[in-house]
Homo-oligomer: A and B are copies of this chain.
């Protein structure tokens, strides 16, 4: 997000206080709606509604959708219902549903009657799409044509419909039963001979996604084919919506943040870092810290039961644990990023495990060597020092195998592989690593 420009706020407040609606309207139609939202975000709710009400409805809806979703919810709660009907009707279908999803279901039921029937139907359909599906990302505003019109007629139709800039550049060609049969870009329509038939110009069997297809696949396809939008079809092959490039970009950026936070054992904030309240933050971090504390407690109990007493062995505990944890995190992250970017699939598991086994061996040797040298300094004899390299080999191999297996297991049971894999890997490797250390120590020393 671009931070608000605080310099404009006093000016804006002045115009609102003077009731200079003309000036406000001029200002807010000259610049991009996102900029209007950015510089007006500092206003209080009443002032903001005053500003929004001064704008033409279309513009008002545009600006409104550029506020962070939490602010949109606040604004909805701060106004009476009459305001909401026209605003919701004017909002883009996908943005409208994103807002309604954040509201109390009771409130939604009170608001829905304020919206025209066709829109209501549309809202209920979009609300019913499962999260992380193509349906949850799509909008229902798109331009469509039958195959039997000419290019000239098609352009004339588009002129009279004047669809949004979002959706005018790719036009979908539908059979009479709304089955998607082709697509054509505005560029090709304009470059074509005006008398040519759309059915002859169009790209047949366009690449599409099914409404229930997972979000990752939608992103991968849109990115691979450099599309502005990708059509979404139902089981009968009928066009039900499109997913546009800007929504995919937003989704990818949000996913990147969410996955980074998950990998660091934080429930994704879902809002700007500085906006998240201290209580929310304590909860979203504390719950996982407590879970990880639990697994660390197991390690402590294991260690307390079979104590390592020689001081030089104690000194190497953090090093042994870190070696396993670090190599495990590497493997987990590599497999998670490869799965989520589509670079490899679940069916590649034998190759993945073979690679990680080989890497575990190589990296184990790489760390065992300096480990042995360091142990020689502190151990009473070279023979006893061998405990360290043997243990390091063991925990590094354990790390790479647990780290690569866990995300694959998560994916195979339909869970997001990024779901806490990294902290889980560390936790498992810590406990088992300590056991390996103790066993090796007992075998070598006793």
Residues of A within 8 A of B (CB): 1-3, 32, 34, 155, 158-159, 162, 165-166, 168-169, 185-188, 190-191, 207, 219-226, 228, 245-246, 248-250, 252-253, 255-257, 259-261, 263-266, 269, 272-274, 278, 281-282, 285-286, 288-290, 292-293, 296-297, 299-301, 303-304, 307-309, 311-312, 314-319, 321-323, 326-327, 329-330, 332-338, 341-345, 348, 351-352, 355, 358-359, 362-363, 366-367, 370-371, 374, 378, 422-423, 426, 430, 434
Contacts and interface: CB of A to CB of B under 8 A. Distances in A.
A248 B226 CA distance: 11
23 contacts: A3-B345, A32-B207, A165-B187, A165-B188, A169-B169, A223-B249, A228-B245, A245-B245, A263-B263, A264-B330, A264-B332, A265-B329, A274-B352, A285-B363, A289-B327, A296-B319, A296-B322, A300-B316, A300-B378, A307-B315, A308-B311, A309-B309, A317-B318
B321 A303 contact: no
A231 to B, nearest CB: 14
3 nearest A-B residue pairs (beta carbon): A256-B256, A264-B333, A273-B338
A10 B301 CA distance: 59
Contacts of A221: 2
B264 A329 contact: yes
B261 A333 contact: yes
A78 to B, nearest CB: 24
Q: Which of A3, A285, A434 has the most CB of B within 10 A?
A: A285
Contact of A159 (B191, B248, B309): B191
A1 B303 contact: no
A221 B31 CA distance: 14
B318 A303 contact: yes
A26 B266 CA distance: 52
A235 to B, nearest CB: 22
Given A219-B253, A245-B249, 19 more contacts: A3-B342, A228-B228, A256-B259, A256-B260, A261-B337, A264-B329, A264-B334, A266-B334, A274-B343, A274-B344, A282-B362, A285-B330, A289-B363, A300-B316, A300-B319, A301-B315, A303-B315, A318-B434, A321-B321
A310 B322 CA distance: 22
A296 B325 CA distance: 12
Contacts of A169: 169, 186-187, 228
Nearest to A297: B374
A16 to B, nearest CB: 24
Contacts of A301: 315
Contacts of A187: 165, 168-169, 186
A351 B274 CA distance: 8
Q: Which of A296, A311, A332 has the most CB of B within 10 A?
A: A296
B257 A341 contact: yes
Contacts of A260: 256, 259-260, 263, 333, 336-337
A282 B16 CA distance: 63
A109 B343 CA distance: 33
Nearest to A431: B318
Contact of A430 (B155, B225, B322, B371): B322
Contact of A303 (B250, B314, B332): B314
